[in-house]
Amino acid sequence: MEDTRWKKFKLCGDYNADMRSLYLAWTTPGGLEKWFLRKADFYTVPQRLRANDEQIAKEDTYVWYWHGHHNNVFEKGRILEANGHDLLRFTFTGGTTVSVSFSTRNGLTIIELEQTDIPQESDPEKNLLVQCQIGWTFYLANLKSVIEGGKDLRNKRVDLNTCFK
């Protein structure tokens, strides 16, 4: 029997912001660029580049660029689901899938992020479960800081990226 414990993880965060604002922070290029990415390019099926404030849709493809890195460091993937109000699913690094769901509880918006289909890796430096879990933990904290009126915690300097290798 296959051990599936190391093939997925789930993170949760609570946010003092309305669900719609948080959903748009995840599902518009401009929203993602405020807390997550340097540049978020989304393309419709006919390969039209989406506008900064335009919501993404199922079957869109993306190219993402990170702060602190040159343009040769990017992530490509596809939107698997974007229902317009409380669910987003997309392909991610290493053939994984990320699901982001939104709900409300006790006056807060709850975001649950689950990354699945993580491949087994014998080299700990390449372990996607560990590396992605660390990354998503940081970005969920940065989203909270940015959306609740705090600072953007990202490194935006390419000359410092050697600290993060």
Class of domain 9-164: alpha beta
> Which residue ranges make up each domain of the chain?
9-164
pLDDT tens for 30-45 read 999 999 999 999 999 9
For β-strands 74-82 and 9-15, DSSP reports them as unpaired
Greatest Cα-to-Cα distance within the chain, rounded to the nearest angstrom: 48
Asked if pLDDT for residue 165 goes beyond 70, the answer is no
pLDDT tens for 87-130 read 999 999 999 999 999 999 999 999 999 999 999 877 766 688 88
pTM: 0.93
100 Cβ contact list (under 8 Å, min separation 6):
26, 87, 88, 89, 111, 112, 113
